[in-house]
Amino acid sequence: MSEATPILHMLAPQKHMSPFDVNMAADAGYKVIVPYINVALEEVGPLVQDAIFSRPPDYGVRTGFFMGGKDAILALDMMDAAAKAMVPPFQCSVFADPAGSFTTAAAMVACVERQLKQKFNRDWKGTKVAVFGATGVVGFASSIISALEGADVTLVAHRGVDRVVKSAAVSKERFGVDLKAVAGETEEQKRDIIANAEVIFAAAAAGVRVVSTEHMAGAKNLLVVADVNAVPPPGVDGMELFMDGDKLPNSNVLGIGPLAIGDIKYKTESGLFKQMLSSKEPLALDFRHAFTLARQLTA
Ligand SMILES: NC(=O)c1ccc[n+]([C@@H]2O[C@H](COP(=O)([O-])OP(=O)(O)OC[C@H]3O[C@@H](n4cnc5c(N)ncnc54)[C@H](OP(=O)(O)O)[C@@H]3O)[C@@H](O)[C@H]2O)c1
């Protein structure tokens, strides 16, 4: 591999590049990090070509692009635009992780998978998953990762089912997965959804309790509940920050808390940056690669 300085160009469609991701990239080993903000999709290709043609082809693997933002589909479109802009042998690596969602979702799915395997001798095939916060980036990515593994995934809408119906349609078109979309606005609707679920992904906004003890009272099939919200109150009643397969209070349901997930998320994001830094070939990394690594980390 060349001794060229590792440079990371970090693109955000909104007015900020995430300081979290800048720090992660620096700690993983990037020496020069340049954030670009308010980047439009059509600007991605020209920016990539501007970067790749400035360095000899063997320096390309030391040049990386990071796609941030807050929109999973836009980040994937930005990756596609970057791929189309490559002119072999002038190429570079690309990694998308909008709002940390791909690595967070990958970590959540991998942490739940470990409990399913170790405690129930099960995998994702046919496992009934209910996703709260399904219109968010973490909910969206976790629904696709688990559905690609064969889970039977239901997206729960908290204000109008139309947006989750749209998410399900996008997921079918882009990833070939069949997701169900249901309304979960009333207490009764939530109880019914949870009564049918074996796994819950609680991925609603920070500081929002989406699943209460009462919602889970009749949930005879429920095995594992994962919660990514670290801001009090917890997204799930009784969830503790570091729970990792412990029983929720007065229940046989296993809980996985936000900092158990966050630990794997952190290692996954850092690990993907390090893969880009050490690879001899240019890489293109999205939530699928994040899940592969998170799975290794939880094995
Ligand atoms: N543990 C970790 O490592 C880690 C890392 C990153 C993020 N997170 C956490 O992951 C969670 C999701 O993040 P995100 O970036 O995906 O957020 P997001 O894109 O803002 O999505 C938030 C989701 O929560 C829903 N929501 C908002 N208020 C709600 C309510 N009162 N009841 C039910 N649902 C509600 C939103 O629905 P609408 O679309 O209808 O508003 C949306 O589906 C957050 O709690 C965040 O702090 C954790």
Tokens representing 291 are: 């899940």
Give the pLDDT of residue 171. 95
* Pocket of ligand 1 contains residue 69 by CB under 6 Å: no
Please say if the pLDDT value at position 2 is more than 60: no
Region 60-76: mean pLDDT is 95
Q: What is the pLDDT of residues 21-58, one digit of tens each?
A: 999 999 999 999 999 999 999 999 999 999 999 999 88
pLDDT of residue 110: 98
- Ligand 1 neighbour 229 (Cβ under 6 A): yes
Q: What are phi and psi of 7, to 5 degrees?
A: -120, 135
Q: What is the pLDDT of residue 248?
A: 96
| Whole-angstrom distance, CA of residue 117 vs CA of residue 135 | 28
For the chain, state the CA radius of gyration.
Answer: 20
* Ligand 1 neighbour 114 (Cβ under 6 A): no
Instruction: Determine the atom of ligand 1 nearest the C-alpha atom of 207.
Output: 45
Average pLDDT on 131-138 reads 96
Q: In the numeric block, which tokens belong to residue 210? A: 């989406």
| pLDDT band for position 59 (cuts 50, 70, 90) | confident
101-261: which CATH topology? Rossmann fold (3.40.50)
Nearest Cα residue to atom 5 of ligand 1: 104
Q: Which atom of ligand 1 is nearest to the CA of 258?
A: 1
Alpha carbon nearest to ligand 1 atom 31, residue: 208
Best probe residue, ligand 1, of 135, 138, 166 (max atoms within 8 Å of C-beta): 138
262 ligand 1 Cβ < 6 A: yes
| pLDDT of amino acid 60 | 82
Return the domain boundaries, the chain. Answer: 7-96, 101-261
Instruction: Report, as an integer, the average pLDDT of 121-146.
Output: 97
**DSSP code of residue 27:** H
Spatial distance between the Cα atoms of 255 and 223, rounded to a whole number of angstroms: 9
Query: What is the rounded end-to-end Cα distance, in angstroms, of the chain?
Result: 30
How far, in Å, CA of 247 to CA of 240, rounded? 10
1, pLDDT greater than 70 = no
pTM to 2 decimal places: 0.97
Cα–Cα distance between 274 and 55 in angstroms, integer?
A: 20
**pLDDT digit string (tens) for 107-130?**
999 999 999 999 999 999 999 999
The best mutation among 158, 166, 263 to test binding of ligand 1, ranked by most ligand atoms within 8 Å of the C-beta, falls on 158
Whose CA is closest to atom 3 on ligand 1?
262
Decide if 294 contacts 103 (C-beta within 8 A).
Answer: yes
What's the rounded Cα separation, in Å, for the pair 95 and 137? 16
Percentage of the residues of the chain whose pLDDT score is greater than 90: 97
- Is any ligand 1 atom within 6 A of the Cβ of residue 98? no
Locus of tokens 């949870």: 194
Q: Identify the helix (H) or strand (E) that includes residue 258.
A: helix 258-278
Q: Is the pLDDT confidence value at 89 over 70?
A: yes
Rounded Cα gap, residues 69 and 50, in angstroms? 21
Q: What does the angle CA 224 – CA 226 – CA 231 come to, to the nearest 5 degrees?
A: 150
Q: In the block, which residue shows the tokens 């990514």?
A: 228
Q: Tell me the per-residue pLDDT of 219-274, one tens digit each, with 9 for 90 and over.
A: 999 999 999 999 999 999 999 999 999 999 999 999 999 999 999 999 999 999 99
Please report the pLDDT score of residue 299 as a whole number.
93
Whole-number average pLDDT of the chain: 96
Q: Which CATH class is domain 7-96?
A: alpha beta
224 SS3 class:
strand
State what percent of residues in the chain have pLDDT above 70.
99
State the DSSP H helix or E strand holding residue 32, giving kind and residue range, or none if neither. Answer: strand 32-36
- pLDDT of 96 reads 98
In whole angstroms, what is the distance from residue 176 CA to residue 185 CA? Answer: 27
Instruction: Indicate whether 91 pLDDT > 90.
Output: yes
d(CA 194, CA 175): 26
Ranges of beta strands (E only) in 160-282 are 180-183, 199-202, 224-227, 244-247, 254-256
Q: Read off the pLDDT of residues 194-224 as tens digits, 9 standing for 90 and up.
A: 999 999 999 999 999 999 999 999 899 999 9
Nearest by Cα to 238 from 209, 272, 197: 209
Same-fold call for 7-96 versus 101-261: yes
